[in-house]
Structures are given as C-alpha cells and as structure tokens.
A and B are shown apart, each in its own frame.
Chain A
Amino acid sequence: MKIALMGQPNSGKSTIFNSVAGYKAVTSNFPGKTVTYTLTKFNLFGQALELVDLPGTYSLTSFDLAELEARKYLLNGNVDVVINVIDASLLSRSLELTLQLLELKVPMVICLNMIDEADRKGIKIDIEKLSKILGVPVVPAVAVKGKGIKELFSTTYKMGEKKKIGKTLNFSKDVEEVIEKLSAQIKEKQISKEFNVPEQFLAIKYLENDRYFMENFKSRDKNIFKEIHYFQNLLNEVHGRPSDEVISSERHHLSMNIYESVVSLTKPHASLIDYLDNILMHPILGYIFLALIFYLFFNLVFNVGKIVEEPLLNYFYRIIPLIGKSISTETLLFSVISGIIQGLAGGIAIVLPYLFPFLFGLAILEDLGYLPRIAFLMDAFLHKIGLHGKAIIPFILGYGCTVPAIMATRILESERDRFITSVLATMIPCAARMTIIFALVAFYISPKAALAIYILNLIVIIISGKILSRLLPEVTPGMILEIPAYHIPSLKVALAKTWLRMKEFIFVAWPLLIVGSTILSLLHYFRADTLINHFFSPLTIILGLPLVVGTTLIFGILRKELSMLMLIQALGTANVVSVMSTTQIMTFTIFIIFYIPCMATIAVLWREIGSKRTLFTIAFTFILAIILATITRFIY
C-alpha cells in the first residue's frame, strides 16, 4: 500500500514521516523546505507499507517547482491513500487544500497536527463534526511528541483497504452549474483520461486557468479551448472578476464556513515566545540581534572546535613517530599506515569538532523558525543584488553544505533567480570550508583574520550578484512568504537532524579522506607527487605557494576539507606555520574557498541548472579564485 503525506508547508509532514522512518527526512520550520520527496518502507499489521513525504503545497494549482512535483507525484504515483496533514492552528486556510484533495477523489485521512498549539491559541475543534462534513476520518496528533501517530496510521491503513472516498462539497449554485457544464464537455471529449483525474477536478482547474493543464493538453480536439474560454468569460462577467479568482474565493468561503461551524474560540494563552518578534523583527533591533546571533554562533563553533581540536591533534601526532620506531619509516607499509592514521585523524580531530556544533546550531535556528525572519530582514538588501528575501535561505543553508543549498533554490519562483542564487551559493564557505578557515586561519593566524575572510567572502558574493543580475536583467516577482509561528525546538529532533547531516560526512567524506590520504602517502613513496606538483607549478608559482600544495588542490575538488588535510600531510607537519608563512596560509585558504565547487556540488548543479551553466560556474569560480588569491598574495 502506498501512502502519501500531503499538506501545506510547515504543517509537520516531515515530522510524521520521521517518526516512522527513523529520522530519514529533514524537517525545519521554514515554508517549502522538503524540495524533493522522500520515501520509506515500513511494516504495520504485518503489511508492507510505503510512505512518501511530498513537498509542502499551499494549493493544487501549482507555481513553484517543488509544488509542481508534489502534484505530479500525486497524479501519477498510484497513491492508495493520502494523509492530508493540517496545522490545526491554521485550520481555515489549510482546508482550502483539503477541498482540492477531495475534488481529486482519492481515499484520504486528515491529520490535525499541532492540536496542542491550536489549544494554546484558543481554537477548539469539533473533530467528529469536521469528519462528518468532509466524509473522511480526522485524527488529532502532536507529531513532535509522537502523540496520535499510531492511530493515524491504523486509520490510514483501514481507509486504504476500504478505498472510501470523501465528500465533494458544493460551491455557489451558479458556479457549480458552470463546472457541471464544462465537465460534461470534458467527459464527452474524454480529456480527463489523458491526465488521469476526475472530470470535475479538471473542469475546475481549467476555470482556474491552471498553466500545467492548459499547456500539456495533447488531444487533437482543440475546440475544447473555445468552451473553456466561454465558461471562463461567463464567470468573469457574472462575478465581475477573473474566473480563477471566483473559484479561489468560492473555496475560501467554503473553508471559512466549515471553520466557523466546527471551531469554538476561547481565550488564547499568550506565551513569551509570541513576543520574540518584537525584538527579532524590529526594524533596528532586528538587525542588531541578527548580527549578534551569528557572531555568537560562529564564536561558539570556533571555541568548541578549538577545545577539542588541540588535544586530539597532539594525540594523533604522537602515534605516528611511535609506529616509526617499530616499522622503518622507509618502508611501503609505514607509508600506508601513516596515511590511514592521518586520514582518521583529519576526520576526528579537525573536521568533526567544528562540524557538529555548527550543524547543531543551524538545526536549532531552523526549528525555532528564525530563518524566514532573516528572509524578512534581508529582503531589502537582496533586492540590491537583484534577488529577493527568500534567496537568503539557500545562502544560510550554504554555510552548512552547498548541496542542500542548491536544492533549496527550488523555493524560488523564477528560473533566473534560481540560477543566480545557485552560483552565489557555491561561493559561500560551507562547513567543510569553514573547518579550513577555522583550523588554518583562526588557529594559526587569528580569529580576526578568519572574520576578515568571511567579510571578504560576503563582499565578493555581493559584487558577483550585482554582475550576474546586470547580465540577466529581469524584475523578480517579489517576495510572498509565510512567517510561521515560533516553535520551541525539540532537542531530540535537532540532534536527529544534526546526525543525519553528519552521516553524510562520516560515511561518504571520511572514507574518501582516508583513501585520499593513503593515496597521497603512496604517491609520496613512489615520488609521483613531484610530477603532479610540477604540473601544477604554474598555478602554485602565481599564488606564491609551496610546490607541494599542488597535489592537494586535486583532492579539494573531491571534497573541500580534503585539501587542508592533504596540505598538512603533504607538508609533513601539523604545525603549518613552521613551513608556510601567514601570507601563504591566507592565499591558500582564499583560493580553496572560491575555486571550483566540490564533486557533489557539481553533480547537483548539473541537475538543477544544466550542463552549460554548471560549466560557466566552474570557470567563473576558478578565475575568481585565481584573481582573489593573487591579490591576497601581494597585499596581505
């Protein structure tokens, strides 16, 4: 049995998904975060069930890529039963999607999630009555606390077996008449079969002027368009506004009526968290706190990382000479062993100490709901580089990892915005590059120098943004963004999310690191590294870096953090300052930050913005890196 989770952004679909999938989907308090769907298989009542977490959609009339994908899946994915997840505290608005799902005539269960939040807001919902009106079961739940999940899935399973379909509610009489007439035409011409949807659903979508159903129309009989336009005009004339607005108003009123008949309002309990916006979204204080939060955040990451890094590094570098006593340092075996140890050490002592606090802090900020507030605060500034507020989300995620950042560009409506944001996001120092900045620059030079790199990086991104938006002039549609209520982050959920993101490093990057480090040892043993270094010498000479750095730059394309670890190994010492001047460390770091994105990023770029634009990005960042690093060499 195939079950799909469908609901408006931020309604808690991913939390429900996680509770059965064992933390495989990433949730966060930001509208439109699940940009590709995730699937899990699990057992219930001895039956193998499949659960799909679809991207949040406000409506079945779709605009952005994420929404379109959710709808496509629902229409083609042979879903047996849909769980419509609703944020109970936003019932009236959420019902508009529910009504559209009912029009689709698929078996459905409603999950009234965050029922505790609704209670707090003074919204009491008559669950039985709601279920009666819609003709589908309604299950209350508090997904974050795991309440109601069992009941939800046992009800869903029963509905999937019975294949019972809910009621379709009627609009005003005259609108219903138009829908009936148009669906009769559609039935006659057998168009709805082409899309595999009920006639009435298609009739409504045509009256709504839905682009997808208009453009993907393949039937030979084009006369239907005349009919569609005739009925659209009819609604337009009678109601004095466009037909799509007539339909959405009808749905809106219907939802409001249902809402009013099932809800009784009591006094809301104010919570301290409701006043947070008075500070965090304040026109002046908001920016001060934004700067303060990020300053404290990075300070914390650096300090936690430093405390762990030093003793661990010392420990590891005592081991290698010990081994050198029992196995001759001239042998192949010693090369391999020391390569493996250095790879292990790089992961444990250098990367993990900075990665964990960073990802954990980011998870807390996300779950709290701070990210959309940043989008609000930064909108005016992003307009200066031709983007709008929502683009800040990929940028912030980019400080964690570039791959999800580029995936998150799907929340942007225009293709041009997605392209510019993707290119700029590749330049943001991700956690891997952060470890380089922290472990090399902050550690050996000064924290101030590290801060300077971040500021320089921002300036370069702003200038690049200006250039790109000049090259691709277009007025962005402007920001329309829901600012969800704050949620007190759950430690369990935040830790699970951190773990999920760390897993990527531990199971993908770390083995690569160990292999890479061993290969470097072997290259060194067979003296092949001098050849590669020689090949790269034009570059290293321009940048004024030691020749041995050449090999490490290749590894940096595999994974950014590899280049630093390889650097330490290539130099043959963990004490980098003894062989490189501070200028060289600075030049190296700046080059590494900007040059060619890592393999994983290139792969995702290729998929999201196409081959040509990906090659452009590679060339653009490479040239930029050479220019910036050369400048650094001479002025720092």
Chain B
Amino acid sequence: MAITLDSIGENKKVKVVSISGGWGIRQRLGCLGIHPGDIITLKRSAIMRGPILISVHGNQVALGRGVARKVVVEAE
C-alpha cells in the first residue's frame, strides 16, 4: 500500500518509493539527497499541520506538508 511521507509517525524509518511531484520538486528533493531508494527518518512534525523534519544521509531537511504528501514511501 502506498503511504506518503506526511502520514507517518515520529521516529519511523522509511524508504522512498517515488516522488509524485513535477520536475521542480523532484530536482529540489534530489539536491538534498532525497531520491527513490533513499532511507529517511522522520524526526518531528510541527503542530497545526506544519512542516515535518526528516533526517536523510546524516542531514536534516524540513519539508512543508504539501511537499511531504508528494513523497511516496514504504516502511523499512
């Protein structure tokens, strides 16, 4: 079943399956080390449906909810 990055719990480790956004978002995420196949840990979610904080390749990245919704993941 496809789940998206905005719907997983804190401290969960997931693997990126695909990025459903367009060219811009794919490239942007790629630059920060987020490609299909990469392992991501969700570190925290902000209140009021704010952004999420993830850890990828030892680096922290904040993603807005709208962006996170476009990242399809599976449990590791």
Contacts and interface: CB of A to CB of B under 8 A. Distances in A.
Interface stretch (A70-78, A465-473, A476-484, A549-557): A476-484
Interface stretch (A187-195, A240-248, A526-534): A240-248
Interface in B33-61: 33, 35-38, 44-51, 53, 57-61
A124 interface: no
B27 A244 contact: yes
A283 B44 contact: yes
Interface string A252-286: 10000000000000000000000000000111100
B66 interface: yes
A372 B49 CA distance: 18
A237 B31 CA distance: 24
Contact of A63 (B28, B45, B61, B64): B28
Contacts of B9: none
Nearest to A259: B57
Given A58-B28, A244-B26, 13 more contacts: A89-B58, A208-B27, A241-B36, A252-B35, A281-B44, A283-B47, A376-B50, A376-B53, A379-B51, A380-B47, A477-B66, A477-B67, A481-B61
B49 A380 contact: yes
Contacts of A362: none
16 contacts: A58-B32, A59-B31, A63-B28, A241-B18, A241-B36, A249-B30, A281-B44, A380-B47, A380-B50, A383-B64, A389-B64, A478-B64, A478-B66, A479-B51, A480-B28, A483-B60
Interface of A: 58-59, 61, 63, 89-90, 92-93, 96, 121, 208-209, 241-242, 244-245, 248-249, 252, 281-284, 372, 375-377, 379-381, 383, 388-389, 413, 475, 477-485
A249 B36 contact: yes
A477 B61 CA distance: 16
Contacts of A121: 58
Given A121-B58, A389-B51, A477-B25, A376 B46 contact: yes
Most buried by A among B37, B49, B61, B64: B64
Contacts of B65: 478
B51 A380 contact: yes
A480 B64 contact: yes
B26 A376 contact: no
A209 B64 CA distance: 25
Contact of B30 (A252, A483, A484): A252
Interface of B: 18-19, 23-33, 35-38, 44-51, 53, 57-67
B57 A93 contact: yes
B48 A209 contact: no
A380 B48 contact: yes
A375 B53 CA distance: 12
Contacts of B61: 480-483
Given A244-B27, A479-B62, A480-B29, A281 B53 contact: yes
> Which 10 pairs from chain A and chain B are nearest by CB?
A380-B50, A58-B31, A478-B64, A479-B64, A478-B66, A483-B60, A478-B67, A248-B30, A380-B48, A379-B51
Contact of B62 (A282, A283, A483): A483
A376 B62 contact: yes
A113 to B, nearest CB: 15
A252 to B, nearest CB: 5
A379 B23 contact: no
Nearest to B54: A483
A146 B48 CA distance: 44
Contacts of A383: 64
A208 B30 CA distance: 12
Nearest to A58: B31
Contacts of B49: 380
Contact of A389 (B29, B32, B48, B62): B62
Contacts of A59: 27, 30-31
Nearest to B48: A380
A254 B33 CA distance: 13
Contacts of A475: 66
Contacts of A92: 33, 57
A383 B32 CA distance: 23
A482 B26 contact: no
A252 B48 CA distance: 34
Contacts of B57: 90, 92-93
Contacts of A376: 46, 50-51, 53, 62
Contacts of A282: 44
A483 B50 CA distance: 15
A480 B61 CA distance: 7
A270 to B, nearest CB: 14
Given A244-B27, A375-B62, A482 B32 contact: yes
Most buried by A among B31, B37, B59: B31
Nearest to B70: A478
B27 A248 contact: yes
Nearest to B69: A478
A372 B62 contact: yes
A208 B57 CA distance: 23
Most buried by A among B45, B50, B57: B50
Contacts of B33: 92-93, 252
Contacts of A388: 64
